[in-house]
Amino acid sequence: MAELPVTFIQVTDITRVTPRMARVTFEADRLDDSVGLAPDQQLKLCFPRPGQERPLLPEQSDDTTGWYQAFLAIPEDERPWMRSFTLRRRVPGTNTVEIDFVLHGDTGPAGAWAASARPGDRLGMVGPSALYAGPVPLTDSIASADWLLIAGDETALPAIGTLLEALPERTRAQVYVEVAGHAERQTFQTAGDVALHWLHRDGTQAGRSEVLIDAVRGAEFPPGRPFAWLAGEAGVVRTLRRHLVNDRGLDRRAVNFSGYWRFKLTQDDAPTADDMAEAQERLAEYRAASDGWS
């Protein structure tokens, strides 16, 4: 089994990409050479409890189950808050990484930390690791398709940025991104043939907006076999996936989907019945994908 990488990271710089997106640059105590070489690398950040200069974490271990058991054994009032993120960029040849934070204006541990973060602040980082990836590499699935469909909200923008920047030359992609308003648009460097559609909520609350769903449902797809990548609010992602499989006829194995967050719920809340059903579907499809998708 792959080792679960665990390290501490320290803030060195903070910039505003948009009014609601902060890019935080960190220096990691240690970092595997493979980190940052592929798009859409998932990781966990661990945030300190009040009064802690850095989060309390077990040592890195090649026993993943044992590490999580040790993490859960930390008293609840001392155990770090853990949240999922995407690595936005690693500076080549260094231990410097960039991670983007959506500033919701709420009091959740990640958003509150990012709103007040300063150089020198320290977090824990678990991953990136092959343990978080499916058996079939995402880049292989994209390369096997005739074109790529990407859809997500602002929480998916860091991953979308890595995907677009990694596209091979002339790879066709239709991209639909839901954001709060015009000021939240970003620019990306890509060699792909990309049609990027920005969708604005303009006052509608994230997670209740239908603009992303409506845009994908109403889209005229190019000819050929697509590979779809979906991420954002879990209910929206489930709706889009059902549309692509049931209405558009996509093979289930040709849809990579992730519910990054849940409307009115946090990662600390118990999973819903829909969450459990989604997890079972993802597990079944990862097992099927291990036989190859071509």
Structural domain spans, the chain:
6-132, 138-289
Which residues make Cβ contacts (< 8 Å) with residue 52, sequence separation at least 6? 78
Whether residue 145 contacts residue 60, with contact meaning beta carbons closer than 8 Å, is answered with: no
Question: Who wins on pLDDT, 206 or 254?
Answer: 254
Contact 230, 152 (CB under 8 A): yes
CATH class of the domain comprising 138-289: alpha beta
d(CA 176, CA 292): 27
pLDDT at residue 291 is higher than 50: no
Is the predicted pLDDT of residue 133 greater than 70, yes or no?
Answer: no
Range with the poorest average pLDDT among 75-84, 92-101, 124-133: 124-133
pLDDT (0 to 100) of residue 139:
79
Q: Could you tell me which residue, 62 or 114, shows the higher pLDDT? A: 114
pTM over the 0.75 mark: yes
Q: What is the pLDDT of residue 270?
A: 45
Per-residue confidence band for 278, with pLDDT thresholds at 50, 70 and 90: low
Alpha helix (H) residue ranges in 93-149:
109-116, 138-143
> Which of 32-36, 134-138, 200-204 shows the lowest mean pLDDT across its residues?
134-138
pLDDT value, residue 131: 66
Tokens representing 261? Answer: 């967050």
Give dist(CA 139, CA 269) in Å, integer: 32
Q: What is the pLDDT of residue 232?
A: 95
For β-strands 147-153 and 122-126, DSSP reports them as: unpaired
Distance CA 243, CA 84 (A): 26
Region 223-232 average pLDDT? 96
Q: What is the topology classification, in CATH, of domain 6-132?
A: Elongation Factor Tu (Ef-tu); domain 3 (2.40.30)
pLDDT for the residue 59:
82
* pLDDT given at position 269: 45
- Return mean pLDDT, the chain: 87
pLDDT in tens, 3-17: 789 999 999 999 999
Mean pLDDT of 266-283: 51
Residue 70's pLDDT band, with cuts at 50, 70 and 90, is: very high
β-pairing, 193-200 vs 122-126, is unpaired
Q: Give the pLDDT of residue 4.
A: 82
For the chain, list the strands marked E by DSSP. Answer: 6-18, 21-28, 42-47, 81-90, 96-102, 122-126, 147-153, 172-179, 193-200, 226-233, 255-261
Band of residue 199 on the pLDDT scale cut at 50, 70, 90: very high
